[in-house]
Amino acid sequence: MLQCFDQTLRDGLQSIFNVSLDPKGWLQATLPISVGGLGLGTVVDLAPSAFLASAAATVPLQNLLLPRDKIYSDNFRIQVFDGFRTVHGAGICIETRSQKEWNAPFISSSVAKLLDLNQSNFDKARIMAVKSECFQRANIPTIKEPTGLMEEGSLRPDGYTISPWAQGRSLAWDVTFLHTMAERYINLTSQEAGAAALRAADFKNSKYAALAESKIVQPVCIETFGPTDAQTQSFLNELCSRIVEVSGDPSLAHQELCKAILFYFTSKI
């Protein structure tokens, strides 16, 4: 059943983003974003760590619920723990409550396996966090979530380019994903495709009006059903063109753009 769930997740990802992932690509997609993956995870691999963390965290409650006149031994928990130690070593105590700590050995082994599968320097260079990879592919240095760009301290875009993007000015971008069928947008989207994205883009242009005096402000607004506003589409086309210009590979531009969109989708929705 767990393997079926993982396969459904993989099929869904490939269908939505119109890509085909080989074993290396899928392995990288399941890794956390912090180590260059998409953060999808696999139920088959993470189920033991999730169970062991949950079991450790609920021990006090179990002690309250179970009869005190008998010694209770959680044999299944011990069995799973022994299996985990056989695969990943004995570096974690069975009383550890943090799933992040339980996941760490598996993630380390997965990263090592991915590096073994990618022997060339070019392939190894692909194993990086996707949050800024599109701009990196176009040889454009960026700063993420910069502070101090505007007097309003709470306002900051998702990032901006260090080098000029156009007209001698850097580009500051801010990403939003909108649910096409959300109650606040349905009256718009039922009449015109992309209407929610257009409204969001107008709002962002107004929000960062002061920043537009020194930077090129770029709203990136994408609806969950796919439509974008014209400003977003033009920007994505230009970004892809710059990636192709540097790499010479149109498919790479499409791949990196899909990964970046997935990253923002999973982190903002």
pLDDT digits (tens, 9 = 90+) for 95-143: 898 888 888 888 888 888 877 776 665 455 445 434 446 777 777 888 8
- Mean pLDDT by runs of 10 across the 269 residues of the chain is 88 85 84 72 88 89 78 83 86 87 86 74 48 68 77 74 89 86 87 92 91 90 85 86 79 64 51
DSSP E strand stretches across the chain: 142-144, 159-161, 171-178, 216-223
**pLDDT of 252:** 62
- Say which residues have a Cβ less than 8 Å from residue 225's Cβ, sequence separation at least 6: 180, 181, 189
**Within 10 Å of residue 209's Cβ, how many Cβ atoms?**
11
CA torsion 268→196→235→172, rounded to 10°?
-50
Nearest to 110 by CA among 185, 38, 195: 38
pLDDT score of 202: 94
- Tokens standing for residue 207: 């929000």
Note the pLDDT of residue 213: 85
Residue in the block written with tokens 């909108």: 178
Structural domains in the chain plus CATH codes: 2-126 (no CATH), 130-268 (3.40.1350)
Q: Specify the pLDDT at position 259.
A: 59
- Strand 159-161, strand 216-223: pairing: unpaired
Residue 243 carries which side chain, given as an amino acid letter? I
Query: Shortest CA distance to 259 belongs to which of 41, 13, 27, 9?
Result: 13
Put residue 122 in one of left, alpha, beta given phi > 0 → left and psi -120 to 50 → alpha.
alpha
3-state secondary structure of 221: strand
* Distance from C-alpha of 157 to C-alpha of 219, rounded to nearest angstrom: 9
pLDDT on residue 219: 93
Residue 216: its pLDDT value, please? 92
pLDDT for residue 217: 92
